[in-house]
Chains A and B, each alone.
Chain A
Amino acid sequence: GAVVSQHPSWVICKSGTSVKIECRSLDFQATTMFWYRQFPKQSLMLMATSNEGSKATYEQGVEKDKFLINHASLTLSTLTVTSAHPEDSSFYICSSPWGLDGYTFGSGTRLTVV
């Protein structure tokens, strides 16, 4: 089946620094990648949709200048959290559509901003 490899699994950064999260499709071409954020004990919240070769589409209330998304190739999409603050601490997950099984998800990245 389709696999999306997400790295890093966890990261701790200082407030004010930037962090990049990568999602790679290993055995298929990911034309579209969805990025989610999940706070403890809550559901996944869609942040943005990226399409290869075009600008990402952000959901209402998500700051596009803070969460930079790049989808430069069919196998790699990245999310950069710029000038991170403690309130950005969360679990970030990527997902891509795959065949008739719906969507395949990355394993998630736990971001802690101190």
Chain B
Amino acid sequence: LAKTTQPISMDSYEGQEVNITCSHNNIATNDYITWYQQFPSQGPRFIIQGYKTKVTNEVASLFIPADRKSSTLSLPRVSLSDTAVYYCLVGGPEDSSYKLIFGSGTRLLVRP
């Protein structure tokens, strides 16, 4: 199981772009990289998933370098409602036996 390392916390201001980097040096060839968002007293919510290069959806972008040993979640123009904990996980999404092991996550605080 690939272990992930993220910053414990980050601060930002409304309207800024936030980049959260995750290290996963032991990522396997078949592993995907997935980011989840969690608000207090709620279950995690899927944000974005990628395998290599860049993926973009309506809420975020995910940048993955060629060696795939790290990834960066980019949140454009954050708002107060983006204050949450963000988790980076690696694994095979089509393998139902794969256990999602959560790391510490990054606690993002967006200030007015």
Contact = CB atoms under 8 A, between A and B. Distances in A.
B43 A93 contact: yes
Contact of B94 (A44, A100, A107): A100
Contact of A46 (B36, B43, B100): B100
Contacts, number: 63
Contacts of A45: 102
Contacts of A105: 36, 43-45
Contacts of B43: 4, 6, 93-95, 105-108
A8 interface: no
| Interface range for B | 20 to 34
A102 B102 contact: no
A106 B100 CA distance: 14
Interface string B73-112: 0000000000000010100011111111111110000000
Nearest to A101: B46
Interface of B: 32, 34, 36, 41-46, 49, 87, 89, 93-105
Interface of A: 4, 6, 31-32, 34, 36, 43-46, 49, 91, 93-95, 97, 99-108, 110
